Amino acid sequence: MAIISPFRALRPRPDIADRLASRPYDVLNSTEAREEAKNNEFSFLHITKAEIDLPETTDVHSEAVYQKAKDNLLRFIDTGKLSEEAEPAYYIYQLIMDGRKQTGLVCISAVDDYHTDVIRKHEFTRPEKELDRINHMLTTSAQTGNVFLACRDVPEVNKIIAQWKDSHKPVYDFTADDGIRHTIWVINEEKKIQLITRAFAEKVACTYIADGHHRAASAAKVSEKLRGNEDAKFFLTTIFPASELKILDYNRVVTDLNGLSKIEFLSALEKDFTVTPSSTPVKPGKLHEFGMYLDNQWYTLQSKQGTYTEDPIGVLDISILSSNVLDKILAIKDQRTDKRIDFVGGIRGLNELEKRVNSGEMQVAFSIFPVSIEQLFDIADSGNVMPPKSTWFEPKLRDGLLTHLI
């Protein structure tokens, strides 16, 4: 059963929370982070993307970047921008995006649960991304990135959270520049803390990583390196009930056609798909339908019979694309390590796919129908993993509002 614990969060002064909170480190490149943090001394990006405070030629994985992150974190603490909670607490984190509300419990989850598969995974991770967060955690002695977990609804916990929200004032409540509203409450009553901890220990057989596989894997490896450090035996998580979650598409862009001409590539596709030119951008509206952007033209790809199986992995659209296009035609065998492929979250829209191809950086883009939360659970329960970057969750938690020190 799931082991969770309250913790003493490092968190900002209420008057600067909206300026300090930043988008997750892994949804921004260095250029975007520099622009977003420009003229904002409070931005938590100075800690999670510390290369923005160094020359642009600096290697983002260099020791100088991690040391700068540590220096900036200490400066934020010394100047009172951040301070640590007096006593361990749970936190309620509510997000509202486009009128849709989702509310999670911020806690620390046991690294042992990660190792024993009580915390279940559905993706492999990329070694270089793990190493980046390992170095960041070890140097800063902090877990700045929140791992987004999902679980099947626990009525007792849902009730406690709803009642607490109704009867207590939030410590933070602001709408970010992207229109997403972030509201946080502190649960600091010992009886309620014990009830929540017990409910997870008795009612929750497992939780599922929705977003943050690299952060979770890195925290587990940091724990091994810091044996004896009690804080490092847990890592920062926010657990959302499945009934409130929605998964967006996670699309692909590829640098080249593996030596094929456009005509040869389209001909190869027609063996497994019905290929139809489209006069408008294609956002798939059903299973086994794909959009493709190539040479200023959108196409609809419809899977033919025999291109997929009905097992939990084989039926996924990302598996169909991976097997019948990325591997079979484009010779991309390992999406975790192949530099010819990149991933674009659905929140960025189809315009981002067109932009990446039209710039000449990429040659072809694919839009994909999103995975469902039940498909994610089925795959994780079966012990299988999806192709990397198969799910994109929105809205995303902001970094900096709640940090776990180790």
CA distance 299 to 125: 31
At residue 85, the pLDDT reads: 98
- Please tell me whether residues 90 and 227 are part of one structural domain: yes
The residue length of the chain stands at 406
User: Which residues, at least 6 apart from 168, have a Cβ–Cβ distance to it below 8 Å?
Assistant: 185
User: Residue 64: which domain range?
Assistant: 4-247+394-405
> Measured between alpha carbons, how far is residue 295 from residues 142, 250, 282, 299, 366 in Å?
46, 21, 15, 11, 13
pLDDT, one tens digit per residue, over 194-212 is 999 999 999 999 999 998 9
- Please tell me whether residues 200 and 182 are part of one structural domain: yes
Give domain status of residue 295, yes or no.
yes
- Please tell me whether residues 209 and 305 are part of one structural domain: no
pLDDT, one tens digit per residue, over 304-320 is 988 888 788 888 899 99
pLDDT, one tens digit per residue, over 59-73 is 999 999 999 999 999
Q: What is the mean pLDDT of residues 246-261?
A: 95
CA distance 91 to 192: 12
- State whether residue 275 is helix, strand or coil: strand
CA distance 231 to 218: 15
Give domain status of residue 385, yes or no.
no
CA distance 192 to 167: 13
CA distance 4 to 25: 25
Q: What is the mean pLDDT of residues 137-143?
A: 98
- Please tell me whether residues 243 and 254 are part of one structural domain: no
Give domain status of residue 190, yes or no.
yes
- Please tell me whether residues 214 and 97 are part of one structural domain: yes
- Please tell me whether residues 232 and 266 are part of one structural domain: no
pLDDT, one tens digit per residue, over 7-58 is 999 999 999 999 999 999 998 999 999 999 999 999 999 999 999 999 999 9
Question: Sign of torsion, CA 384 386 389 395?
Answer: negative
- Please tell me whether residues 176 and 285 are part of one structural domain: no
pTM, 2 dp: 0.84
- Please tell me whether residues 197 and 276 are part of one structural domain: no
Evaluate if residue 392 carries a pLDDT over 80: yes
At residue 382, the pLDDT reads: 87
Give the number of domains in the chain: 2
Task: State the pLDDT confidence band at 115, using cuts at 50, 70 and 90.
Answer: very high
Evaluate if residue 387 carries a pLDDT over 80: no
Q: What is the DSSP letter of 108?
A: E
CA distance 392 to 212: 10
At residue 133, the pLDDT reads: 96
- Please tell me whether residues 342 and 210 are part of one structural domain: no
Which CATH number goes with the domain that contains 288?
A: 3.30.1760
Which among 264, 275, 273, 330 is positioned nearest to 307, based on CA atoms? 273
- Please tell me whether residues 99 and 64 are part of one structural domain: yes
- Please tell me whether residues 141 and 193 are part of one structural domain: yes
pLDDT, one tens digit per residue, over 71-94 is 999 999 999 999 999 999 999 999
Provide the greatest CA pair distance for the chain.
68
- Please tell me whether residues 320 and 400 are part of one structural domain: no
